[in-house]
Structure 1
Amino acid sequence: MDILPTATALILIDMQKGMNEPRLGARNNPGAESNMLRLLAAWRRSGRPVVHVRHMSRFPGSVFWPGQRGAEFQQDFEPQPGEHVVEKNVPDAFAATGLERWLRQRDIRDVLIAGVITNNSVESTARSAGNLGFRAVVAGDAAYTFDLRDRNGRLWPAEDVHVLSLANLEADYARVLDTDQILTAAMRAGAGRG
């Protein structure tokens, strides 16, 4: 079986203007957006399903508070007609959003997850995907996170947080692949379809 069947849905998480706010701190993987765009372009060219997830915070001080600039999609990641948009209020894109139902109604069993924040919305969404029985792949180089201070006051560099989060996912919930691997597998699946 192909790693990424032609019905695999690309789920792009929280690519909103608020992610560029300096107050979020230092991040890792400066090439993440270009890898996300490569995946998005390939999915659009092949007519595969695309889902855009947007976080709408319940907290007025958040960069994702509804009605303000930070809640808007970044220009390069604005949904096109026919692409599904999911709005969430918690990190998990499956929680109270209808995403699971939308996928099941279309008989989509495979999901490719990319976006931000690796150890928050990406990880929680991938965990739910795995727990709900979807075959999940996370694009490790098409995600990023920020430095994180633990409860003891230690500051963990974003890259350490990122790789540990991906290791958590790979243990039980999802395969973690790089963009080049994903595009190769997707091309192979597309060629097999014709």
Structure 2
Amino acid sequence: MLPDMAELSANAALIVIDVQKGFEDPYFGRRDNPAAEDNIVALIRAWRAAGRPIVLVRHDSPEGSPLAPESPGNALKDVVVAAFEGAEPHLFVTKNVNSAFYGKPDLDGWLRERGIDQIVIIGIQTNMCNETTARMGGNLGYDVLYPIDAMHTFDAVGPDGETVTAEELTRATAASLHHGRFARVVRTTDLLGASAGI
């Protein structure tokens, strides 16, 4: 059972955001949560085994970025590709801003057409595209589950010139989403247990 006695819907959609090779570039700096990819793969496999919908999201950055379409870094990480074992996601979204709800094709429309009102967000980065998508999902009325250990982020420099660590940013994101009731912050094991129970 998930925290707050929540249940995992039979058609809960797994939104896998920006798990791309470009995030391995030194440009992004130091990251947290080395277990992120293992947890991402575990959830993809659990969703595939249960027959639940999976949405893959890819960020197409402007030219010069490690995530630019013409760059090798634009490609999904090998572990994600392998987790699908040759199968296709139910929906593939491309975007060039933070929220997956502003990508193409229209994620919100696709979910509503299928009667999906619960989404699970995983991927990269915790406090950037993942958090933005979670906030917008909450505003749109979705029940958002946020497995905080199935994602990671990077250290960032604040306006005062001080470095905020990736761990601090992750903790702040978890608190902000929880306190603001945008999402329910959970762990991968919570979802794997709930998935096995159906």
SS of the aligned residue for 2:151 comes to strand
Q: Kindly provide the CA deviation profile for residues 70-98 of structure 1, in whole angstroms up to 9, marking residues without a partner as x.
A: 11111121363253110011010001430
Return the letter of the residue paired with 2:196: M
Query: Within 2, Cα distance between the matches of 1:31 and 1:96?
Result: 27
SS of the aligned residue for 2:38 comes to helix
Change in Cα spacing, 1:168 to 1:2, as seen in structure 2 (3 Å) is closer
Structure 1 contact 127–169 (Cα < 8 Å) conserved: yes
Structure 1 contact 118–143 (Cα < 8 Å) conserved: yes
Query: Within 2, Cα distance between the matches of 1:3 and 1:112?
Result: 12
RMSD: 1.3
Corresponding residue for residue 36 of structure 2: 32
SS of the aligned residue for 1:10 comes to strand
How far the C-alpha of 1:41 sits from its partner, in A, is 0.5
SS of the aligned residue for 1:26 comes to coil
User: 5+ unaligned residues in a row in structure 1: which ranges?
Assistant: none
Structure 1 contact 32–142 (Cα < 8 Å) conserved: yes
Structure 1 contact 2–185 (Cα < 8 Å) conserved: no
Corresponding residue for residue 63 of structure 1: 66
SS of the aligned residue for 1:176 comes to strand
Query: Within 1, Cα distance between the matches of 2:33 and 2:150?
Result: 8
Which piece of structure 1 moves more, 125-134 or 94-103? 94-103
Query: Within 2, Cα distance between the matches of 1:3 and 1:129?
Result: 18
Which piece of structure 1 moves more, 72-81 or 154-163? 72-81
Query: Within 2, Cα distance between the matches of 1:81 and 1:117?
Result: 23
TM-score (norm 1): 0.93
TM-score (norm 2): 0.91
Percent identical across equivalent pairs?
39
Which piece of structure 1 moves more, 7-16 or 76-85? 76-85
Corresponding residue for residue 176 of structure 1: 185
User: 5+ unaligned residues in a row in structure 2: which ranges?
Assistant: none
